[in-house]
Structure 1
Amino acid sequence: MVKTGLVGLGKMGISHCAILNAHPVVDLVGVCDSSKFILAALEKHGKMNCFTDYKQMIRQSDLDCIFVAAPTRFHADMVCYSLEKGLHVFVEKPFCLNSNEGKKMIDLALMHNKVNQVGYHNRFIGTFNEAKRIIARGVIGDIYHVLGEAFGPVVLKEKGSTWRSHKSEGGGCLYDYASHVINLIQFIVGTPNQVAGTVLKNIYSQDVDDAVYATLFYNNGLSGQLSVNWSDESYRKMSTQITVMGKKGKVVVDATECKIYLRQENKIEGLEKGWNIRYITDLTKSVDFYLRGEEYSAQIDHFIDCVLKGKTENVSSFESAFETDRVVEMLVADAYSRK
């Protein structure tokens, strides 16, 4: 059994707690949170030990790995301490708030030869993996443009303060929403080298952005657009879509289907001329425990499998998340260069 600890029992932390607690090869030894109300409920109904100090949990629990689901501003200290204590680390996204912190965490993970993963769960959705495969095989030819979009109803009015409403704590549409889209673009077609025309737009929030718009540039000539808005009530929940244009066709992909348009049929891939659709139900591997979506369990399965096999190369590694954070920093610098 993989002895596991969890820090942070917010929305994602509770999800991780449920999945880890049901995992066949995981022993969720300890959980940690600042809320005594939540801990009291877990102590009453769960079997794991509860802590308010993550360092105490690590010292007393003989862990193999740790899941960090605390607000982003705490990531660097928690991750570095865990790595120095010899633990494999899964940390929620976004990875960190500045590149110096990210570099330190990457270096420590490499130094201690530890499995490291960041919670960009879209990388574990079958449709996005199919899009990546189709594009990599040259099915739509040389690609020349990518569009990344996400919309959802997170902030629909001016409201009270939480960590999501503070820039210094990793709040805002750019860090919390757009980072998913940037990471997906990076996963499917690579990391942009430059950005321009960035707009970080306040709609209802005061200290953070509610929408992000930007143009992306690649050294190989590929261009891109980023369009993300978490104040759009026409969507029931977060909806993410990537469109990639190629000389032989295009791919339009979201979490439910991968649509492929071809100018000519591709017999090898079994694709007709015109539109073809591949559905998530045909592209998803089964998981032992379903909560919110297979991808949430799949990312944990992948991490635990890497821990068991000692595989430090990972689908969603610290290094890949660091590249996402680097693009976020470029977007912020570009937006503020005109203010």
Structure 2
Amino acid sequence: NHVRVLNRLPGVDLRAVSDPSAEAVERATRSRMARAYSDYVRMLANEDLELVVVAVPTHLHEEVAVAVLESGCHLLVEKPLAPDVPTATRLVELASTVDRIASVGHIERYNPVLLAAKRGLRSGELGRIFQVRANRTGPLPARISDVGVVTDLATHDFDAVRYLVDHKIERVFAETARRMHRSHEDLFSGLMRFDDGSIALFDVNWLTPVKIREMRVVGEGGMYVIDLLAQNLFFYENADVGYWSDATGRLGVSEGNMVRYRIDRAEPLETELSVIVRSIRGEDFEYVSMLDGLYAVALADAVKQSSELHEPVFFSEPALVLASRR
């Protein structure tokens, strides 16, 4: 998908693709001008590149991303940033020492429906946020073998919920299970509490025959229902918020208007890559940072720890030693 989108982006010249699988790299470069490599190190040495997209198994992210940054290229590394916090921390600290764009592919942050919901929250339409529910389920993917559903799939929602709530996380509680995956958890249910009192609930698995990507945000002013796949945003108004609640000082809940917002639908991957390209040109800096990627990995580690202990875990801010950019 990255090759497909980069090949058609205006002003982008797709120079090379590297994959150890001869079949995969032939398929990616077929009918394209990009050169094929079986070894990414040779690609970095031979090609004059500005941006490299790292979409390899999670346990290889550090090895490849370090080589990319040390070669002087800008970097987009797929999520999750790394399989664990120490590895993610090393990558964030390295990225802080180079004068290059380094971003993590939390693609929902470029989904137009999530961006529309965030604009609504910033405008105060929902008022204070009470609760966020994230439902991300679907079939077991054959391609994922090195990490479980928490690290691979739930990190999408950890990042998206942090983005919407925009408050510090106090603690998490989780239960996980392995039902069909050979070596990792494929079922996760969890809770997250923020320092403003808002609560997030997560339902994530690789066990559901149908693919679901939904979020619900409940606040004083009503509820957003966000369909991330269909890119639909519905607002269910709380009719008790307004004149009478302002006049009496009392809050209640009753059914009000329902609004389906118009969304200018777009492919999130294309938006993501466009933002990265514009950022390299100095035109846009609204990309997902390496630090955001670290937070998602840290939350995944806290969730897995809570599941092992069967008790809540207080969330600690990642400890970093960041350098000033040259």
Give the TM-score band, short-chain normalised: 0.7 to 0.9
* Corresponding residue number in structure 1 for 2:308: 336
Quick check: 1:212–1:227 contact (8 Å CA) kept in 2?
A: yes
Looking at structure 2, the residues matched to 174 and 252 of structure 1 have their Cα atoms a distance apart, in angstroms, of: 23
CA distance in 2, matches of 1:45, 1:284: 28
Q: Secondary structure, in 3 states, of the residue corresponding to 1:326?
A: helix
Counterparts of 1:33 and 1:276, CA distance in 2? 46
Residue 305 of structure 1 deviates from its aligned partner by 0.8
Q: Match for residue 210 of structure 1? A: 186
Partner of 2:86: 100
Partner of 1:269: none
Q: What does residue 276 of structure 1 align with?
A: 259
Indicate whether 1:186 and 2:166 are aligned: no
**Aligned: 1:57 with 2:37:** no
Q: Per-residue CA shift, 1:272-300, capped at 9, x if unaligned? A: 94211114xx3336xxxxxxxx1111111
Match 2:293 to one of 321, 333, 338: 321
Equivalent of residue 172 in structure 2, options 195, 198, 202? 195
Inter-partner Cα distance in structure 2 for 1:67 and 1:193: 33
Aligned to 1:302: 275
**2:237 matches 1:262:** yes
Q: CA deviation at 1:263?
A: 2.1
Q: Which runs of 5+ in 2 are unaligned?
A: 243-254, 312-326
Structure 2 CA distance for aligned equivalents of residues 38 and 283 of structure 1: 33
- Partner deviation per Cα, 1:17-70 (whole Å, 9 max, x = no partner): 111112221111111101012234456633222111111111110111100001
Aligned equivalents of 1:163, 1:38: Cα separation in 2: 13
- 2:144 maps to which residue? 164
CA distance in 1 between counterparts of 2:124 and 2:7 reads 42
Give TM-score scaled by structure 2 length. Answer: 0.84
Distance 1:184 1:299 in 2: 15
- Are the aligned partners of 2:76 and 2:103 in contact in 1 as well (CA < 8 Å)? yes
- Where does residue 159 of structure 1 map in the other structure? none
SS at match of 1:139: coil
Among the aligned pairs, what percent are the same residue? 22
* Letter of the 1:134 counterpart: G
**Residue of 37, 43, 46 corresponding to 2:32:** 46
Query: Kindly tell me: are residues 42 and 124 of structure 1, through their superposed partners in 2, closer, same or farther at Cα, counting changes over 3 Å?
Result: closer
Q: Which moved more, 1:16-25 or 1:257-266?
A: 257-266
Cα deviation, residue 225, structure 1:
0.9
* CA deviation string 1:216-253 (max 9, x = no partner): 111221112111122111x1x3x211111112212111
Cα distance in 2, alignment partners of residues 208 and 122 from structure 1: 24
Deviations 1:97-133 (A, max 9, x none): 1122222222222211211221121111111111111
1: CA distance, partners of 2:135 / 2:92: 29
Query: Normalising by structure 1, what TM-score?
Result: 0.81
What SS does structure 2 have at the residue aligned with 1:194? strand
| Aligned mates of 1:143, 1:206 — CA distance in 2 | 39
Counterpart AA for 2:258: W
**Amino acid aligned to 2:227:** D
Aligned residues of 1:192 and 1:327 also touching (Cα < 8 A):
no
Residue pair 1:116, 1:314 contacting (<8 A) in 2 also: no
Q: Displacement, 1:96?
A: 0.6
Over the residues paired in the alignment, what is the CA RMSD in angstroms? 2.2
Aligned pairs for 1:113-124 (under 5 A) are 113-124=99-110
Query: SS in structure 1 opposite 2:15?
Result: strand
Does residue 134 (structure 1) correspond to residue 120 (structure 2)? The answer is yes
Decide whether aligned partners of structure 1 residues 44 and 120 sit closer, same or farther in structure 2, where only a CA change above 3 A counts. Answer: closer
Q: Partner amino acid for 1:248?
A: G
Contact 1:127 1:278 in 2 (8 A): no
Look up the SS of the partner of 2:75 in the other structure.
strand
The amino acid across from 2:307 in the alignment is A
Partner of 1:88: 74
CA deviation string 1:141-176 (max 9, x = no partner): 111211111121235xxxxxx6613xxx2x222122
Question: How big is each residue's C-alpha offset from its partner over 1:204-226, in whole Å with a ceiling of 9 and x where there is no partner?
Answer: 12311121101111122111211
Query: Cα gap change, 1:85/1:212 in structure 2, threshold over 3 Å: closer, same or farther?
Result: same
1:17 partner letter: V
Deviates more, 1:132-141 or 1:302-311: 302-311
How far does residue 328 in structure 1 lie from its aligned partner after superposition?
Answer: 0.5
Structure 1 stretches (4+) deviating beyond 4 angstroms? Answer: 41-44
Q: Does 1:23 align with 2:9?
A: yes
Equivalent of 1:227 in 193, 199, 203: 203
- The answer as to 2:58 corresponding to 1:72 is yes
Aligned to 1:106, what secondary structure does the other structure show?
Answer: helix
Aligned residues: 296
The answer as to whether partners of 1:66 and 1:89 remain within 8 angstroms in 2 is yes
